Structure 1
Amino acid sequence: MSKLSNQKLKLLYLLKILNEKTDTDHTLTVPEMILELKKYNISAERKSIYDDIESLKVSGIDILCRKSKTYDYFIASRTFELAELKLLADAVASSKFITEKKSRELIKKIGSLTSNHEAKQLVRQVYVAGRVKTINERIYYNVDIINQAIGNNKQITFKYFEYTIDKKKRYRNDGNKYIASPYALTWDDENYYMISYYEKYNGITHFRVDKMEDIEITDQKCHKEDINIVEYTKKIFSMYGGEEETVKIQFDNSLLGVVIDRFGKSTITHKIDENNFAAILTVELSPPFWGWIFQFGNKAKIISPENVREKFVAFINEVMEEY
């Protein structure tokens, strides 16, 4: 590379050096910047560095100078603060649908958004190994393809699998491809799901994205179906379907936050007495719903309708018979 070409790149490399090596706790002097530029085979004079720093500041880069025995320069603020990057890194590390290998890769990329010094804190902040993770490395490509199909209003075909008792893949539908009209992607219980219209069921259903393979976008337009995605996901507990029912449940006052977290602030509630309140909820009657109620013990009680009360009692009795 010619000396002239190197000089044209000087400003870019200076910004790279400042981004990677400086933050509020780590600074560089002008002589140190000159030495760093030499590593890229770029020579510079002190005056040109001052001019370059001023150009970067005019362009919007927040470079500050701290005066002590020397003039120390550093990047004062970035698009993401360190605390925000820690949140992102922790979310990636704890996400079950992201494989361990991909988690480490993404956290490394998140670290590139701050200085090398602060990036080390992200590595210490999170612990990936030992957490339950998906083993399907193609989930990221699956998400991308599904989003393309949704954006272009096209149907997709794919294979769908489950694991046998000996932990081997078994393809559903006799290994034949599914055909579905994708409407949205949703994240529930740390898993990605595709909400779609499935002609075989003549209605809306959902598929675990990490269990989908060989996804292809077709030329066929998506089947149009009127669906409220938010309401659909709220009704499905842990993605298990069941008969929809509106129920009235009595809760201990200590569970108000739990109910709001699950069903939202718009949930209809009213006071029963000093210790209890009632909530009107639209749910799908299924084992996950029974389990959700059961976890609260005597602090939650189904009031109506009677047929739902009976089904819950039958569910409890069925479980007790196993003991």
Structure 2
Amino acid sequence: MAKSSNQKLKLLYLLKMLNEKTDEDNTMTIHDMIAELERYGITAERKSIYDDLEALRNYGLDIGKRKSKTTEYFVASRLFELPELKLLVDAVQCSKFVTHKKSNELIKKIESLASHRQAQSLHRQVYVSNRVKTINESIYYNVDRLHAAIAENKKVLFKYYDYDIQKEKTFRKNGDKYSVSPYALSWDDENYYLVTFSTKYNDFTHYRVDRMTEIDLSDEERDPLPVREHFDIAEYTKKVFNMFGGEDVMVQLQLDNSLVNAVIDRFGKEIVIGRMDDSSFYIWIKVAVSSTFFAWIMQFGNKVKILSPEAVVDQYMDQLKGICSLYSD
């Protein structure tokens, strides 16, 4: 390309080099900018660079300058600050539902929002390779389709599978497609779930998004919620432990005082806590009683006791007896 043609791109290349090469710790002088522009086949004079920098400031680019022996210029602030980008990288790294390939692609895009030097500090934080990740490469686009179905008030069709002991896919319903009414997507216990409502059963259920395939939007509108039914995804995930449901029951627990943090982490600061004695407290919670609810209690050993209802106490004791039977002679 001829130099005269490239001259029209001078301002864009100047914007590019400032974003990529400068930050508070890495600066450029006017001489540096002129030399860098020459690499793109663009000639420039000092006065024109001053004018261009002022135009970029008027455009909204926060250009700082620092005087020493020469005047040095740099991008002083960006849409995302470095700590925010680190937070985004960490979120992508920790997202079990995002595959290794997609994690690396997303992190690369996040790095492009920083200067090259800052991107190196982000890259040093990347430890994706050894983390447990989903192997469903299409999940990234599945989530987008499901969001579209919710926004457009449409049912979705999909196939749903598990893995057998040979680690091969086995489709439920003999490979026939599910037809469900989607109402929310929830990220719980490092997995993405689609929460749906069924008029037939008058209840909510959920599906692991990484176990869904061949997702299509239906022309049929989704089942409406019952009159006066208010769906709160936060409340739903709070009572449904790890997305394995059971019958909703109001349960009273007695807990050791050392478990206050664990209770608040699980149920939020709004949970009402009552004093039992000097060493313990009690709570009332509405939960979906299931094996995963019992597993949550088990992790605390003798620091948690189910007080009521008696039926839940009996279920828990049966579960404990079943576990003990595995180790009996």
TM-score range, shorter chain: over 0.9
Q: Do the aligned partners of 1:142 and 1:215 also contact (CA within 8 Å) in 2?
A: yes
1:84-113 Cα deviation digits (max 9, x unpaired): 111110111121111111111111100000
Shift of 1:4: 4.7
Residues 250-261 of structure 1: pairs in structure 2 closer than 5 A = 250-261=254-265
Answering whether residue 163 of structure 2 is matched by residue 169 of structure 1, we say: no
Find the residue that maps to 1:279 and give its secondary structure.
strand
1:124 aligns to what?
124
Name the counterpart of 1:320: 324
- Give the deviation of 1:202 after TM superposition: 5.0
Residue number in structure 2 paired with 1:206: 206
Is 1:268 aligned to 2:272, yes or no?
Answer: yes
**Superposed CA RMSD:** 1.3
State the distance in 2 between where 1:4 and 1:111 align. Answer: 33
Q: How does 1:195-234 map to 2 (within 5 A)?
A: 195-198=195-198, 201=201, 203-225=203-225, 226=229, 227-234=231-238
One of 234, 239, 250 as aligned partner of 2:243: 239
Equivalent AA in structure 2 for residue 53 of structure 1 = L
**TM-score calculated relative to the size of structure 1:** 0.97
| Cα distance between partner residues in 1 of 2:120 and 2:182 | 40
Distance of 2:281 and 2:195 partners within structure 1: 34
For residue 228 of structure 1, report the CA deviation from its aligned partner.
Answer: 2.8
Tell me by how many angstroms 1:201 deviates: 4.7
Instruction: Please say if 1:306 is aligned against 2:318.
Output: no
Q: Cα distance, 1:199 vs. partner?
A: 5.7
The answer to whether the aligner puts 1:249 opposite 2:259 as a matched pair is: no
Q: Secondary structure at the match of 1:250?
A: strand
Q: Number of paired residues?
A: 323
Match of 1:144 in 2: 144
1:281 to 271, 285, 297: 285
Q: Which residue in the other structure is 1:44 paired with?
A: 44
Aligned partners of 1:308 and 1:163: how far apart in 2?
31
Secondary structure, counterpart of 2:25 in structure 1? coil
Residue 55 in structure 1 maps to residue 59 in structure 2: no
Instruction: Write out per-residue CA displacement over residues 267-302 of structure 1, whole angstroms, 9 at most, x where no aligned residue.
Output: 121111221110111111111111100111121111
What is the distance in 2 between the residues matched to 1:39 and 1:203? 64
TM-score by length of 2: 0.95
**Which consecutive residues of structure 1, in runs of 5 or more, have no partner in the other structure?**
none
| Deviation at residue 174 of structure 1 after TM alignment | 0.6
Give 3-state SS (helix, strand or coil) of 2:73's partner: strand
SS at match of 2:277: coil
Q: Percent identity?
A: 56
CA deviation after TM superposition for structure 1 residue 126, in Å: 2.2
How many angstroms apart in 2 are the aligned matches of 1:148 and 1:308?
A: 40
Separation in 1, partners of 2:233, 2:124: 38
| Structure 1 contact 100–128 (Cα < 8 Å) conserved | yes
Identify which range, 201-210 or 15-24, moves more after superposition.
201-210
Shift of 1:200: 6.3
